[in-house]
Amino acid sequence: MTDAEKIRCSNDRDLFDALSRDPTIVRIKEHIARLEDDVPFRTRRRLLSTAVRLSPAMAPSLRSMADACIEKLGVSLPLELFVFPSPQHNAMCFRPEEGRLLVMFSSALLEDFEGSELVFVMGHELGHHVYAHHDIPIGSVLRGDEKPDPRLALSLFAWSRYAEISADRAGAYCADDRQAVARSLFKLASGLSGRTISFELDDFLSQVDQMQEEDADPSIRTPSEDWFSTHPFSPLRVKALELFHGSELVNSSGDSTAQLEMGVQKLMSLMEPSYLEAKTVAAESMRRLLFAGSLVVARADGEITQGEVGVFEKFFGKGAFKDTVDVGALEKDLDNRIERVREEAGVTQAMQVLQDLCIVARAEGHTMEPERLVLEAIATKLGLSAGFVTRTLEVDLGPD
């Protein structure tokens, strides 16, 4: 087993394997492969015409960082580096074309990140390649014309977060510098260059702790919506990296790998649809809101279509939608169900249901204005911002 394989997050591997066998994923991958046969090397052509290729002579230190990451992670393909003009800190790795690996950085990131911070970002991007994350066409599945099973959509969401955890570990493994890795995440989170503000790791981590405490206390209604953003920063990623640094994968006297993965799973369980099965009062109130909410959203643009019934039943089980389901009555009861979630579940859980409602709406292939308005109204009544709906409906899901 390669070093990169050893440090890969086990939930990323398991979900990846399961998704790779999913018939919808297999079919969409075949479709994409046919398109690529028709128009090959699209990404590289686009990069050559819109970005600047950084030759080894132009960026010798970046090149040697890349070579060190390639060596540590066991990347076998030749690598081309690109920069594009942008004030945002951003980087991305593309699916290889013509046997070449393509990694692109924003200009701001290259100017503001230094040394091991940059190695972390480089290792993170190469990690996505080493773990073949681009083999799961998450963007095409969730944006395509075909309506995916909502459960599949939610699995993809959950997997994409574990995929980021693996990529972060690959980056941390390459950087081998806990402070620099945290500083890198701090720069991604704050947009700061580090030139005017000095970074304090302990203060940064205590902010994460505070968010977690407030989140556990339903009486504090500060919407910590950052919990739910996968990119460019989630406090969960910082926490997950701290667990990684404290494990035997980094230090032989650290926690066992099993303990590490359990800790990560506990962190991430805040963001997984486990409430569909859980037998707690909070989980039941969440299910009841999801049930009513998804039907009310589906009916927002007129009658509920056969397709929408199909999507709904994939979620709640066959036969869950009967003619006897009175959507009008559910709509009248919606405020009551929202109130129950506010009283019985935490802020994070409220966000979880709202996010799932958005994913279900998206999974129907398109989101119309009336549906969006219903979702925004639910958001407001849950005490969340309407912007949360917009972000979830529009988030670009490719690994970056």
Using CB under 5 A as the binding rule, whether residue 136 contacts Zn ion is answered as no
Smallest separation (angstroms) from Zn ion to the CB of 188 = 10
Smallest separation (angstroms) from Zn ion to the CB of 400 = 5
Using CB under 5 A as the binding rule, whether residue 375 contacts Zn ion is answered as no
Choose the stretch contacting Zn ion; rule: CB under 5 A; options: 40-48, 115-123, 162-170, 254-262: 162-170
- β partners of residue 105: 83, 91
At 326, which helix (H) or strand (E)?
A: none
Contact 260, 243 (CB under 8 A): yes
Smallest separation (angstroms) from Zn ion to the CB of 92 = 8
The CB density around residue 24, as the number of other CB atoms within 10 Å, is 15
Q: Nearer to Zn ion by C-beta: 167 or 211?
A: 167
- β partners of residue 80: 102
Question: Footprint of Zn ion on residues 66-125 (CB under 5 A)?
Answer: none
Smallest separation (angstroms) from Zn ion to the CB of 164 = 5
Distance CA 345, CA 355 (A): 15
Q: Nearer to Zn ion by C-beta: 32 or 92?
A: 92
Q: Nearer to Zn ion by C-beta: 234 or 349?
A: 234
Choose the stretch contacting Zn ion; rule: CB under 5 A; options: 138-146, 167-175, 295-303, 381-389: 167-175
Q: Nearer to Zn ion by C-beta: 9 or 357?
A: 9
Supply the DSSP symbol for 51.
S
Smallest separation (angstroms) from Zn ion to the CB of 167 = 4
Binding residue count for Zn ion, defined by CB under 5 A: 2
Smallest separation (angstroms) from Zn ion to the CB of 197 = 24
Residue 12's SS3 state is helix
Alpha helices in 39-101 (DSSP H): 42-50, 60-73
Alpha helices in the chain (DSSP H): 3-7, 10-21, 23-38, 42-50, 60-73, 107-112, 115-130, 138-143, 150-175, 178-190, 201-216, 235-245, 257-268, 281-299, 306-316, 327-344, 347-363, 369-381, 386-394
Choose the stretch contacting Zn ion; rule: CB under 5 A; options: 27-35, 111-119, 146-154, 160-168: 160-168
Choose the stretch contacting Zn ion; rule: CB under 5 A; options: 55-63, 66-74, 158-166, 290-298: 158-166
Choose the stretch contacting Zn ion; rule: CB under 5 A; options: 137-145, 163-171, 268-276, 304-312: 163-171
Contact 150, 273 (CB under 8 A): no
Contact 58, 27 (CB under 8 A): no
Distance CA 346, CA 157 (A): 20
Using CB under 5 A as the binding rule, whether residue 167 contacts Zn ion is answered as yes
Distance CA 325, CA 125 (A): 48
Q: Nearer to Zn ion by C-beta: 273 or 398?
A: 398
Choose the stretch contacting Zn ion; rule: CB under 5 A; options: 141-149, 166-174, 266-274, 285-293: 166-174
Q: Nearer to Zn ion by C-beta: 139 or 254?
A: 139
At 274, list the tokens: 């486990």
Stretch 258-277: interaction string toward Zn ion, x if CB under 5 A: --------------------
Smallest separation (angstroms) from Zn ion to the CB of 258 = 25
Residue nearest Zn ion, CB atom distance: 167
Smallest separation (angstroms) from Zn ion to the CB of 122 = 12
Question: Footprint of Zn ion on residues 321-360 (CB under 5 A)?
Answer: none
Strands across the sheet with 52-54, in order? 52-54, 79-84, 101-106, 91-93
Task: Please state whether 176 falls in left (phi above 0), alpha (psi between -120 and 50) or beta.
Answer: left
Task: Please state whether 329 falls in left (phi above 0), alpha (psi between -120 and 50) or beta.
Answer: alpha
Smallest separation (angstroms) from Zn ion to the CB of 171 = 9
Choose the stretch contacting Zn ion; rule: CB under 5 A; options: 7-15, 165-173, 195-203, 256-264: 165-173
Smallest separation (angstroms) from Zn ion to the CB of 357 = 26
**Which residues make up the interface to Zn ion (CB under 5 A)?**
164, 167
